Amino acid sequence: MGTQTHTEVSVARQSPQRPDADEPELDDTDASAAADEVEVDRPAADRALWDEVRIDPVEIALPAGTGFTLRAYRSARELTPTDVAERDQDDPFLARRQVVEAEEDDEEVVILDEEFAALSAEEDDEDEKSDGKRRRGTADADADADGADADDKADDDEAGADDEADEDDEAGDEEVPAFLTHKGRLLLFKTPESLVTFIRSGAPNDLSQLDSWNELSERLEPADVAPLDEDTYELDLVVENLRGGHDAWDPALLIEAGEVARDLAYALRLPAVLDMLSAGSSLDDLDEALRASVNGGIGGFLGRRRLKKIGAQTASLGWRTIVGKISAVVDWRD
């Protein structure tokens, strides 16, 4: 590819070519400085600002391109969710339920929803058939247990009310994701400069409710927008990777995609995506099997066996739908 490797650079230093007569010779100091310049990497961006404001730059690649945005985690009681009323009025996925005619691209994504549901249902039917006899065998025992449970129902209701209140308090304290969004749309910027210009402009967005927002807007420079590896996501590669078959699946790529997709679905209020990735779904089974497969020992072995049982077509269709729904609510900014 025309790029010198570290080994090639070292060999070049050991066997320098004779300089031409018209070219000035470099003394040892100049030669050493020139060699060092080849090896110097660009210094990493200072993370001090991000640590202080508890906000992180994020890079997300989608089929339409790659963009930068911001993400923060705060307790649920501290955040006001993004307002999706205006977005949902123009949402083609919702509009199709009320209007017969829809654009071809929107119809394709909805059809994918139906195909994914059908494929998932087929897999679920096989599991249900194997469990059918066991369910019938326990039906009589369950009926007897129902009679005994009725006597305790009053006490359980009272205790349940107290438990529900405790769960509400815990839910309020739970940390949830928030992105640089506005009116239900994710703001993605193609360059660090455009992201910084937006933040400094004082334009309305959902992260401006954070107590550290003003400090970020005053101090942020384009050079600071350098996402960590764990904050860089390649959603544009997920479907193609899944189509390659089980042996080609990239666990790191797919696991990270699941993490950011769940965060985006929560922050952008996309219930359909949350459902597709919820506990017990086929895509959640894929995620768990991938996580197990990267471990050593018996756990990794069992995880790889589970992956073999997951349909590649179902997984790729499901993820194609997820990426399509996320892409549909992106507001690209130059």
306-322 pLDDT per residue, tens: 999 999 999 999 999 99
- Residue closest to 77 by CA, chosen among 170, 166, 212: 170
Residue 225 has pLDDT above 60, yes or no: yes
Domain residue ranges of the chain, discontinuous segments joined by +: 48-126+175-333
* pLDDT tens sequence across 36-88: 444 444 445 679 999 999 999 999 999 999 999 999 999 999 999 999 999 98
- Residue closest to 48 by CA, chosen among 226, 187, 231, 230: 226
Q: What is the largest CA-CA distance in the chain?
A: 104
80's tokens: 């006001």
pLDDT of residue 122: 64
Distance CA 7, CA 13 (A): 10
Of residues 11 and 171, more confidence is placed in: 171
Distance CA 180, CA 280 (A): 30
- Indicate the pairing of strand 330-333 with strand 232-234: unpaired
Lowest mean pLDDT among 30-39, 68-77, 149-158: 30-39
Three-class secondary structure of residue 326 per DSSP: helix
**Considering the chain, what percentage of its residues have pLDDT values greater than 90?**
57
| Residue 296 pLDDT grade (very low, low, confident, very high; cuts 50, 70, 90) | confident
Distance CA 237, CA 258 (A): 13
Residue 301 has pLDDT above 60, yes or no: yes
pLDDT of residue 21: 43
| Residue 217 pLDDT grade (very low, low, confident, very high; cuts 50, 70, 90) | very high
